[in-house]
Structure formats: structure tokens, C-alpha cells
Structure 1
Amino acid sequence: MSDLGFDKASVPTPPTTEPVLAVSDLKTSFQTKTGWIEIVKGISFEIGARETLCVVGESGSGKSVTALSIMRLLDPTSSRLRGSVKLSGRELLTLPEPQMREVRGRQIGMIFQEALTSLNPLATVGNQIAETLVIHGQMEGAAAQAEAVRMLEKVRIPAAKARANELPHNLSGGMRQRVMIAMALACKPQLLIADEPTTALDVTIQAQILQLIKQLQQEEGMGVLFITHDMGVVAEIADRTVVMLGGQVVEQGSTDQIFNAAQSSYTKTLIAAVPRLGSMKGNGQPEHFSVVDRKTGVLRVSEPRPDTVDHQSPPVLSVKNLVKRFDLGASFFGKVHGRVHAVENVSFDLMAGETLSLVGESGCGKSTTGRAIMRLTEPQSGQISIDGQDIMAMDRDRMRDMRRNIQMIFQDPFASLNPRIRVGEAVAEPYLTHKLGTRQQARAKVAELLEQVGLDPDVANRYPAQFSGGQRQRICVARALSLEPKVIVADESVSGLDVSIKAQVVNLLLDLQQKYGLSYLFISHDMAVVERMSHKVAVMYLGEIVEMGPAAAVFKNPQHPYTKRLIAAVPIPDPSRRNQLRQVVADEIKSPIRPADFVPPERTYTTVSPGHVVQDWDENWKV
């Protein structure tokens, strides 16, 4: 996708004519048992044609509610909108609902955060795009189907005609998000609202989506309202930025002004907390993020901590030649037609007090490696030892006891919390199951853990559905810490958190590591966080480790083409680079599915520097 960047001279200046969207003194209230509560408190902004406005702030600041208010997608029986929202001078808040339905999709397109839950799982993606065209009277029948394929081609989906006949679950996360963009743009809207469209995506897919939105915006002349908590993405895409806190605008201006001359202390805090790739100093060891103390309002800028890894003792976790494959297409007679080679011959050691990060795109085998180590999925072969004990030979009871020493923070916090029990009970459950104390002691422990992860202890009586996604992830971190394990497998544990909350949780993990000598297997696609957290980094591609070594060595001197691709795709929080040409590869990662009789080739590795090894590849290697 080398043609998706733009030189500064090629980006037109936003017009001075009537804005595409003008929001004035917008107030949104919700009805509760105690009365009306105002969530959005009188915000105002404008967006011009070919202009991108980013609304940034933490969970609960009112960003998504603002977008839903503009679209009038809130339940009118329990919500109330006041103020003015004008689309090309036409007031939307007083528009009759039948006319507002015509505006949605036709004049305003919206991309939601989670594409899989926004798409009909029982309809092909081509039919869903065609349906949008039919509903809005753009075209019908074969013409609509043909236009759906053209839109899929426009958003750079390979083999678009074939992909149009596939169901959403057959596509990768990046492909599904592109389908959502195609659907949102099918009727050529004047305004595109993108609500956290890249939060859950791999760094390379995120780069593709951002470049795609920028190009389509120039081609179609639309305004873009981009909602995010990622300041790196803001710098990458926004012409102007609105910073929200507690339902109010605390600062707005050009993105250059926001980053280089912020006036609000909250804005300064958000920017200071942004992890910047390549900003490591000193000996390259993990350092703390800048983070605001919410009680005092003071920004804490911690010095890099010393290396606490004990390199002389045996590893606390040792993985040798780990293999995990999933059989496909077993017939009535039990014949297997193919296999997913999810983890292939993976080996590494994790020392006490050390963080090893597994990085790579979705489908590379990171999460499967973590689950296989926990024996939540049984590997085909390999050796896994914790404190010298071979866990592959343990029965169910012994393995349950062993899990006190190794805990996992799962990628999806909502799926890993029981929606029917209060979060205090969820955090206390491992503590009580392993009989580490009385119920009274468990309550005290829960209060302590919730406070450590930035939550008020009083929330222990609430249910998971009453929390934001970021808050639920913090609850899962607290639960994993309740047993004081030696090893924590953190599977994308901070990927969905706001930048300042992410900084707090990462700092918490670093502090606990320093205090208790904890070891982390940190699974992530956030390369800037990985650089800060890690002592060592292992880059995975198609189930194999293609490069591994000290974090400083891998980031400063990447050797494998895939490692270089990952690092090049990281958004840089520098608005001066916003309109520079980005070299982004549009290819999808290859499939890990192999024929049943496939025998993996023997791999050879070259040592680049002490502890830094890279898998050998030939000149024809391609992602």
C-alpha cells in the first residue's frame, strides 16, 4: 500500500465554507432511578470537508456517547438531547425519525469499535454491503452486488469477488474492519464517524486502516470524526483535536498546538503518558511511564529501574520445542484433511524477575503459546517446566495446584468474568479456592488489589456489565495478582486501556515485579509498550519465533524482514509527520493451515549479538 501516504503539498487546506458538521452546546442526559444525569455537558466543535477531527479522552469521558448522540442512536425513552447538531446546515436533533434513518448510512457513515459484533454472522459480507445500498435506494439486485464487490476492492480486500461470498467469521480482524469501512462508505456519506476503529487491531493492520481512511477521505471529500484514546493515532491522522474529560471539552485546537503547546494539565498528562517507540534511555532496561497521581494531580516521571533479573539461577519457566496443531476437516472415518500449525517448535527460558514479550500479528500463535503453557489447550509435544517441575506430566489436581504459581490475564475481560457474580467475589475466588485466608481476609485483600489497579474498593459490589472495557481489564489484573504468582501470562492485558490507565497498569506490573520478583510472559501487539516492559522480545510469525533477543537489541537492530515491518508500522506521536508518505504493506499474513502430511522444514538461526538470534531466510521471503 505504498501509494496510501500523502505529501504535505498534496493535502488540501480545510475549506472556509459551511462546515460538514457543526455541533453546538450538545448536552446528553440519561434517566436513572435518582433522576436525569448529564453525561455530555455542552460541547461544541466543527468539522470541514476533507478534515479529520479527533475526539480523545479516557473511558467514561463521553466520546462514544457524543457520537451516538450525533447519530441519534440512543434510546429516546431513557435519554435526552439538547443543543444543536447540524449536517451541512441541516438540524438533526429535531429531524423526524423517518428522515433521520435516511441520514444514517446515506449522509453519515459510522464504523463501530468491534466489527464482529456489528456484522450479521449469518449473512455474507457482500450481501450486507448490498443491503445498505438497497435500503437507501441507491441501487438494487445485481447492480448492488457488483457495487459491494467494488467497495471491497476500494478498501483493498484481496480477491474481493470471492471474499464477498464469505461470512464475517471467516475473515481476519483487519479484513472485518475493512468490510465495516466499505459498508460505511457505500452510500458516499458527507461525514464518517469512526469510534475506536483500530483499538483491537494489530499494529500493521492499524497502519493500513489509518492510511486507508486518509486516502478515501481525500477521494470522497468527506469529513471524519475519529474517536480514540490512542494519542499516537491522533498524531497520525488528526487535523484538529478535541480533548474530553468528564463529558466536557477541556481543550481543542490544531493537533500541532495540542501536542506542542497544550494548555490543560489533563492534556499534558495524556501526552506525557504516551509510550514512544525508540525513547528508551540508559541501559535499555524497562522504565516507568509518566503517569498522573489521581489523588494529588501531580505527574510522576519515574527513572528507569535497574535490571532485577537473576541470570545465574535456573529459569522459572522453561519451554522447549513446544508444538500445538489443530486438526481440520476430520471425515466420518476420522481422516484429517489439514492442520493449523498454531505453534511450531517454540523454545525460550523466562528468568525470575524477567519480562519476555511475544509479539506478532493476530494468528501468529502468541495467545495459543500462552494457553498451551497454562495447559488450557493441550500441546502435541514439547516440554514445559515451572520451577524445574515438568507440568506436562501432571494430572488435573496437581496442575490446579501448580496454577497458583502461574496465572493468566486473558485478552477479553468480559468473557473471563462471570456476569452473574460481583467483581469482588470474582477477585476473591482464587484466594479462597486455594485457601490462602478467611473470607474476612479475602475482603481486605480484594479492597487492596482493587485500589492497586486504580479502582475504588467500593466497586467490589458491582457486576461486570457496570464497568467499561478498560475497568474490566483492571479487575482481571487484580484477580490474577490475588495468588501472588511467580509467573503471569498477560495476553493483551493492556491493549484496550486508555493511555493514562495503561500507564498506571504497566507501572503497577513493573512495581510488583520489582517488589516480588514476578516474571511476565507479556503477549502484545503494542510495540511501544513492549519496548518499555520487556527485558527480552520474541517475534512470532506463523507459529514460529523468527527473531528473539534483548529488547534493546531487537528494537535498535532488527534483522528479520517481519520484525522490521512490525516496527515500521507503529504510529509515531509526532503531528509534524502526519502527512508524510508511509510505506505500508497491504498483504495479509499467510495462512498457518497446512496439508495433513506437511512436515515443517528444519530452521536454522544466526546469532547477531549476545542473546540476539534471528531465523535464517532466503531472498524470496515474503510476509
Structure 2
Amino acid sequence: MLLSGNAMEQGGGSVTPVLSVRNLSTSFRVNDEWKTVVRNISFDVAPRETVAIVGESGSGKSVTSLSIMRLLPKNSSRIEGQVLLGARDLLSLPEEQMRRVRGNDISMIFQEPMTSLNPIFPIGKQIAEALTVHKDISNAEAKAEVIRLLEKVRIPNAKSRFDEYPHQFSGGMRQRVMIAMALASRPKLLIADEPTTALDVTIQGQILDLIKVLQEEEGMSVLFITHDMGVVAEVADRTIVMYRGDAVETGETSDIFHRGQHPYTRALLSAVPRLGSMGERRLPLRFPIVDVKTGEQQVLADVQDTVGKGKTPILDVKDLTTRFDIHSGLFGRKTGAVHAVEKVSFDLFEGETLSLVGESGCGKSTTGRSVTRLITPTSGTVQVDGYDVMSLDQHALRKMRRSIQMVFQDPFASLNPRMSVGSAVMEPFIEHKLGSKAQAREKAAALLEKVGLSADMMRRFPHEFSGGQRQRIAIARALMLDPKVIVADEAVSALDVSIKAQVCNLLLDLQQSLNLAFLFISHDMAVVERVSHRVAVMYLGEIVEIGPRAAVFENPQHPYTQKLISAVPVPDPSRRRIKRNMSTDEIKSPIRPVDYVVPKREYREISAGHLVQVA
């Protein structure tokens, strides 16, 4: 089917598209058979237009972009159809000519810049290489052009950073370097494959603003690939929705958002949390779930109040401090310390969710690991279910961990690939000698059913499950010891939007039925607003604002909280031309010298339970 939009009609006449894709199909060889993963995709990208391809993992959107660039392995892939760049069919070009097209006429930026940049060469030299390969210019001219490009992508002190290496840049700055490299030869088309997925929300906002500005300045077209509908709304003129290798819907972005026809489109949109939709509501709210086959929305019950206020908190943290010493020199003397967590205090009651939010490096994950003593804190007190965590020996610590369990971001890394799922879930129960193997098997089967899987899956191995299913298995394993507190460390960050909604609903259901307390660690403000009773905002190892969810989101007081909330992409296409004009400053370093004295912090109470750090 042909998916070309009305962006092709400008000024009463047709405009020649920069890119025309016709009946593109891509297959991979699996066990001597060809398996088609992208089927008959057709679309156009007009000059200065942004077209988004949206869909979840496995939908075929990244394979589509790699097929256009001919970056798939030749021996195990087959690309059919036409990819026209002007009058040239890219699929029929000799490899030498195609190499000249890449980086010259079409450039591509990827999700993870650290895997695209060579760690042993300075970033200036890597960008200069992109210029010298395609243009006949001297080294001095290349260097001057690289510095201009670095300034264009808003890298501070561009001249002095020319000779720095990738590891000396933050994630957001590395992505800017990748964009500078992509723009080096002034391409007609920029393909951006999930360029903001791995970034914090404020850095994501900066990159989206940057791409908008550069598109206006350079006049290039953009093919933007993502699974984030909030990002689609902010950048795309037209949108193509992909599902299991097929383009199921296309059109103007505003039409897709307001009048989406396909059930899968409606399911994607329903699962997107909208910041500010909770208002004064005190309790968390389940995510709406739409059936991808019928488009019908499931009726979900409201969350009931389970918070045990007035009782002793199940988790009580006072002045928690965790530092990591830095040693250098010939004799390894201590020369400083990373102040990862600095005098953090909070409590958590049964049946309550307290969310820790902030950007990478703010100390939220270190806080979660410190309260479970996976990391040994430097000072402070932590009380968990009556245990004084800081004073426990190894035997008592093992016993304490029956009360508090962790669910990590990547379930594949936390499940043993050689162990069946049933054995992995049963293991904590058996290790803590809580009963026989038969009892462990019976409880594991019941918990797998409780998290939405089936008992007959116990013989399978982790690689046989999807990401969302693996996270359910990790949650079932955490529940085997009947904990009272679960630390969910970015437990839904790596999941597709609809799977994320299902897992969040599962956590809310488990909280209702088991009266669990959650310490929910996340950088996703829209998800946090939906699932939290209270929110604590962390910056450089300190809590700068804490309070009831409605108070923090409806009346943010600290400048950093305001910055976090304003950076969240809003799934509203009417905001597409709006730029946030966000600061491009990198987050400050938490490294302090040996003689550093931590300033005494004071907090001001804005309303009941809503505290803000005084600057």
C-alpha cells in the first residue's frame, strides 16, 4: 500500500520527495528459511518534512531504516522493493556508490552513541573523518568546520573539547557529537533511530529542540524512528504506525492522535501517560489498556487506599550518606570522593508508593541499593521492618532481606540464562530454607499465575520470553520471600509503552492484594505521576523536594523539579512548533575534594508534608 501524505502538495503543485520508499520488504535467513519481518512498506518524505515511524520492539521500524541505508548483513538478509533518493534507486547501487550516499546524502544517528563512537579517538578527529572521506579539504579546514559543527549542536567550549575522548562527555553531549557528525556533509535526509530513548528527560528535551532548530537552519528532511508517542507528537508532521512488520496506519500526526482508526494505534495512544492528567487525585491510577485486535478498552477498577498511615513506617531512612573514595597517584592516596547520596531522609508506610526521581547520576539507584545494603552506606540509619540495617551481621542481613527485595531495570541481566524460570523463581525460597522443593514449586507456580503468566512456563528459559514477560518473572521471584518492601529500580524504563502500562498495573494490583510498599525509582515523570502516593526529587545526591504526589506535580517549588516537569514530552501535536529553550548545561559532578565540608541544608514546608530545600 502507498503511504504518502499531503505534505507532498505545497503551493498548488507537487513537490519531488527527498525519499520515496515503494513496497519495501525485508527478510532474514533463519534455519535456511527466509522470514519476512517488514512487508510492503511504502511512504514518501518531502523536503523539510519530519516523518515518524512509530511502533514497539519487533514492529520492524529499525529494520526499515537499516534497509534504507543498506546496513543489514548481506549474507543473512534480503531487501526487496525500491528506495528512491531523488532519481536513484539505492537498492540497485553498487556498494562503492552506496558508501558515498551514506553520510553524504543520508546520515543516520543511533540510540546509543557510545557504541557508535570509537573510544580510542578524540571526537574532533572522528567528525573530521566524516568530512575528509566525502570532501577534498585540508586538515586545518576540516578542524575549523568541526568546531563550527560542535558550536552548532550547542556543545559549550567547542574549541577546547575538540581533542577530548567520548568517555569525557555525558550521554546527552555524546548524542550531540553524533548529530554533529551526521550533519558534517549537510545531508538531504537525517534518519534518527531512537535518538533520545536512552537519555534522561531533560537531555531528551534538549536533543528534540536541537533537531527542530537544525532542521530549520539546514533545510533537511528527517525520518524519526521511535516508540514514544510523546516524542512523535512533538516532532512529526506525518506518522506511520507499524505493527509486526506491517504499516497499519499513516496520516497527519494530529489525525493519528485525535482520529486514529486502527486498534493498535488506539492501544499505543491509550498507554501513553499524560502529565497533569491526575489533577488533585490523591491515589494512584491504573493505566487504561486497549485490546490491539478490537480497539476496545478494558474496564479497570479504581485503586483502593491501602496506606497504613499512623503506624510505624515499614522503611525509615535518616541522614543516609553513601560516598565512594577516589584514589590516585603512585601510592593510591585518597584524593577525593563521589558524594553519591548525601544526608537523605524519608519514610515509607505499608501499602504506599514513594517515588525517587531525577536524572542519571543524581543518586536515586545508589539510595535503593544502600537501603538494602547491596552497597554499604557511609553513615546514617536505615530501619526496615524493625531491623537496624546498618548494624546487621551477614546472617542477620540475609534474614532482613526477606523483608525487602529489589526488581532491577534489566531482567535478562538478573536472571541466570542457564537456569529454568521455575528454578530461578524457586531459588530464594529454597536458599532461605522456608520449605520443601514441592512447596517451593507450588508457590512459584501460584506467583507466576499471579503476575499474569502460566505455571506450565516454569520449564522454559529466560531467552524464550519477551522483555515484559521477563520483568514479570523478576517480580514473581521478588515475591517468593513475602517481602513487605520492594525497591523497583527503573523496573519499567526499558519496556515498550503498552508493556510498561501492563507492568505498572500489575504492580498496583500486587500492592492492593499484598499490601506492599514500593520504593519506585524512575526518571519517567509521567509514569511516576500515575503510580505514586508521594514523590521525592533528587539532585546531586540530595533530596531537593518531597511531598504528596499532587502537591509536587501541581505546585513544584524547586527549580530542578520545575525543569524536570517542563521537559516531559506531551502527547499533543499542537505543541509541535514549541521549543522549550532549555539550558544545555551538563549535570554537575558529585566529585568533591577530601577537605570538602557539606553545607547544612534547610527545608521549608509549603503544605502538609510538602518540603522544599532552601537554596
Instruction: Find the residue that maps to 1:493 and give its secondary structure.
Output: coil
Instruction: Find the residue that maps to 2:108 and give its secondary structure.
Output: strand
Paired amino acid for 1:326: F
Q: Which residue of 2 aligns with 1:9?
A: none
> Distance between the aligned counterparts of 2:176 and 2:398, measured in 1?
42
Q: Which residue of 1 aligns with 2:559?
A: 561
Q: 1:235 to 1:365 in 2, by over 3 A?
A: same
Q: 1:300 aligns with which of 298, 306, 309?
A: 298
Q: Which residue of 1 aligns with 2:3?
A: none
Post-superposition offset of 1:532: 0.6
Q: Which residue of 2 aligns with 1:504?
A: 502
Q: Which residue of 2 aligns with 1:621?
A: none
Post-superposition offset of 1:583: 3.5
Does the CA contact (< 8 Å) of 2:262 and 2:295 recur in 1?
A: no
Post-superposition offset of 1:197: 1.3
Q: 1:121 to 1:481 in 2, by over 3 A?
A: farther
Q: Which residue of 2 aligns with 1:401?
A: 399
Q: Which residue of 1 aligns with 2:93?
A: 95
Post-superposition offset of 1:261: 0.7
> Distance between the aligned counterparts of 2:489 and 2:611, measured in 1?
24
Q: Which residue of 2 aligns with 1:605?
A: 603
Q: Which moved more, 1:252-261 or 1:581-590?
A: 581-590
Post-superposition offset of 1:303: 4.6
Q: 2:163 aligns with which of 161, 165, 173?
A: 165
Post-superposition offset of 1:284: 2.6
Does the CA contact (< 8 Å) of 1:124 and 1:168 recur in 2?
A: yes
Q: Which residue of 1 aligns with 2:228?
A: 230
Residue by residue over 1:68-88, the C-alpha shift from the partner in whole angstroms, topping out at 9 and shown as x without a partner, is 111111111111111111122
Post-superposition offset of 1:135: 2.8
Q: Which residue of 2 aligns with 1:273?
A: 271
Structure-2-length-normalised TM-score: 0.92
Q: 1:318 to 1:288 in 2, by over 3 A?
A: same
Structure-1-length-normalised TM-score: 0.91
Q: Which residue of 1 aligns with 2:358?
A: 360
Q: 1:296 to 1:508 in 2, by over 3 A?
A: farther
Aligned length: 606
> Distance between the aligned counterparts of 1:133 and 1:72, measured in 2?
21
> Distance between the aligned counterparts of 1:449 and 1:34, measured in 2?
39
Q: Which residue of 1 aligns with 2:339?
A: 341
Residue by residue over 1:232-258, the C-alpha shift from the partner in whole angstroms, topping out at 9 and shown as x without a partner, is 111111110111111101100000000
> Distance between the aligned counterparts of 1:290 and 1:250, measured in 2?
21
Does the CA contact (< 8 Å) of 1:14 and 1:51 recur in 2?
A: no
* Equivalent residue runs for 1:208-219 within 5 Å: 208-219=206-217
Q: 2:613 aligns with which of 612, 615, 621?
A: 615
> Distance between the aligned counterparts of 2:531 and 2:278, measured in 1?
11
Instruction: Find the residue that maps to 1:160 and give its secondary structure.
Output: coil
Q: Which residue of 2 aligns with 1:244?
A: 242
> Distance between the aligned counterparts of 2:295 and 2:456, measured in 1?
21
Residue by residue over 1:264-323, the C-alpha shift from the partner in whole angstroms, topping out at 9 and shown as x without a partner, is 111111111110011015633100011135798642243531321001221111111011
* Equivalent residue runs for 1:18-417 within 5 Å: 18-33=16-31, 35-137=33-135, 139-281=137-279, 283-293=281-291, 298-417=296-415
Q: Which residue of 2 aligns with 1:528?
A: 526
> Distance between the aligned counterparts of 1:218 and 1:24, measured in 2?
27
Does the CA contact (< 8 Å) of 1:14 and 1:49 recur in 2?
A: no
Paired amino acid for 1:106: N
| Unaligned stretches of 5+ residues in structure 2 | 1-9
* Equivalent residue runs for 1:464-503 within 5 Å: 472-503=470-501
Q: 1:343 to 1:256 in 2, by over 3 A?
A: same
Instruction: Find the residue that maps to 2:570 and give its secondary structure.
Output: coil
> Distance between the aligned counterparts of 1:462 and 1:136, measured in 2?
51
Paired amino acid for 2:99: R
Residue by residue over 1:1-33, the C-alpha shift from the partner in whole angstroms, topping out at 9 and shown as x without a partner, is xxxxxxxxxxx9999421111111111111112
Does the CA contact (< 8 Å) of 2:263 and 2:291 recur in 1?
A: no
> Distance between the aligned counterparts of 1:14 and 1:461, measured in 2?
63
Paired amino acid for 2:265: T
Post-superposition offset of 1:364: 1.0
> Distance between the aligned counterparts of 2:460 and 2:112, measured in 1?
24
Post-superposition offset of 1:170: 2.4
Post-superposition offset of 1:435: 4.1
| Unaligned stretches of 5+ residues in structure 1 | 1-11, 618-623
Instruction: Find the residue that maps to 2:346 and give its secondary structure.
Output: strand
> Distance between the aligned counterparts of 2:297 and 2:40, measured in 1?
28
Q: 1:233 to 1:511 in 2, by over 3 A?
A: same
Q: 1:221 to 1:339 in 2, by over 3 A?
A: same
Instruction: Find the residue that maps to 2:257 and give its secondary structure.
Output: helix
Q: Which residue of 2 aligns with 1:4?
A: none
Does the CA contact (< 8 Å) of 1:200 and 1:495 recur in 2?
A: no
Post-superposition offset of 1:116: 1.9
Instruction: Find the residue that maps to 2:328 and give its secondary structure.
Output: coil
Q: 1:593 aligns with which of 585, 591, 594?
A: 591
Does the CA contact (< 8 Å) of 2:111 and 2:197 recur in 1?
A: yes
Post-superposition offset of 1:460: 5.9
Paired amino acid for 2:252: S
Does the CA contact (< 8 Å) of 1:207 and 1:570 recur in 2?
A: yes
Taking every aligned residue pair, what percent have the same amino acid on both sides? 63
> Distance between the aligned counterparts of 2:172 and 2:13, measured in 1?
32
Q: 1:91 to 1:273 in 2, by over 3 A?
A: same
Q: 1:446 to 1:615 in 2, by over 3 A?
A: same
Does the CA contact (< 8 Å) of 1:14 and 1:48 recur in 2?
A: no
Post-superposition offset of 1:459: 6.6
Paired amino acid for 2:183: L
Post-superposition offset of 1:500: 0.8
Post-superposition offset of 1:468: 6.0
Q: 1:160 to 1:428 in 2, by over 3 A?
A: farther
Q: Which moved more, 1:352-361 or 1:431-440?
A: 431-440
> Distance between the aligned counterparts of 2:346 and 2:389, measured in 1?
16
Q: Which residue of 2 aligns with 1:546?
A: 544
Q: Which moved more, 1:583-592 or 1:299-308?
A: 299-308
Residue by residue over 1:163-192, the C-alpha shift from the partner in whole angstroms, topping out at 9 and shown as x without a partner, is 332222222211121122122222221111
Paired amino acid for 1:232: G
Does the CA contact (< 8 Å) of 1:59 and 1:468 recur in 2?
A: no
Q: 1:273 to 1:559 in 2, by over 3 A?
A: same
> Distance between the aligned counterparts of 1:14 and 1:129, measured in 2?
40
Post-superposition offset of 1:105: 1.8
Q: 1:191 to 1:344 in 2, by over 3 A?
A: same
Q: 1:390 to 1:243 in 2, by over 3 A?
A: same
Post-superposition offset of 1:210: 0.4
